[in-house]
Amino acid sequence: MLGIYVWNKATVDLTSLQGEELQQAVASKRDLTVKDVHELQQRGEWGAVELAISSEKVKPTPELFLEALQLGTGEVIRTYLQHDADPFAELNGEPLMARVYGENADAEKWKIVHEEVDDARLLLLAADALDLNAVTSLLDDGVTIPVQAKESILYQPVRHNHVTLIERLIANGALWTSAHEQLAREFRSDAVMTWMNQR
């Protein structure tokens, strides 16, 4: 009789459950499929997703993690990062973490990423996304620009005419070169060209 009960719990259909019942069903399962977790995330059942990831009922895939970054709560992102989600995985050639940054990004999410991931590559992604607040936060936390990126970190800000970001990065070790001046001319970055003339 016990065997039938255990089998029934293991084959429970999660799609019909929510809240506490869903949490209990997830807890009772030995493992979940990527599809199960995808469906939970699409339904916004973040408590159940946290439970599934934290109890290692599914291995985080880049696809699941990307969904969590886009749709999930900060705590779900923290749970993924604490349970082997690769913050520098790429999908279609784009780093997943690039989705955390941007001029209109959710600061709660990138703050959690900064708490959980200690890696200067985050600074490069934040600069590429022109996220001045995230760049400032990382620099204030003592993150330094990697030696091999001291010039390249300025390319996106130059292309997009972001003088404040350029100044912040130069003040923290980025190197301004004639290549940047040429790039500003090519992209007709008028604010950058004005700034160059005033230097």
Q: Using an 8 Å Cβ cutoff, are 59 and 84 in contact?
A: yes
- As a whole number of Å, the end-to-end CA separation of the chain is 82
Is residue 15 very low, low, confident or very high in pLDDT (cuts 50, 70, 90)? confident
Give Cα separations from 59 to 37, 84, 116 (angstroms).
Answer: 10, 8, 18
Give the mean pLDDT of 77-103: 93
pLDDT beyond 90 at 23: no
Q: Which residues contact 98 (CB under 8 A, 6 or more apart)?
A: 125, 128, 129
Reported as a single tens digit per residue, the pLDDT across 128-148 is 999 999 999 999 999 999 999
Check residue 10 and give its pLDDT. Answer: 52
- Give a three-class secondary structure readout of the chain: CHHHHHHHHHCCCHHHCCHHHHHHHHHHCCCCCHHHHHHHHHCCCHHHHHHHHHCCCCCCCHHHHHHHHHHCCHHHHHHHHHCCCCCCCEECCEEHHHHHCCCCCCHHHHHHHHHHCCCCHHHHHHHHCCCHHHHHHHHHCCCCCCHHHCCHHHHHHHHCCCHHHHHHHHHCCCCCCHHHHHHHHHCCCHHHHHHHHHC
pLDDT beyond 50 at 3: no
Check residue 22 and give its pLDDT. Answer: 82
Is residue 11 very low, low, confident or very high in pLDDT (cuts 50, 70, 90)? low
Check residue 7 and give its pLDDT. Answer: 39
Q: Which residues contact 175 (CB under 8 A, 6 or more apart)?
A: 150, 151, 154
Check residue 146 and give its pLDDT. Answer: 97
Give the mean pLDDT of 83-88: 94
Give the mean pLDDT of 5-27: 69
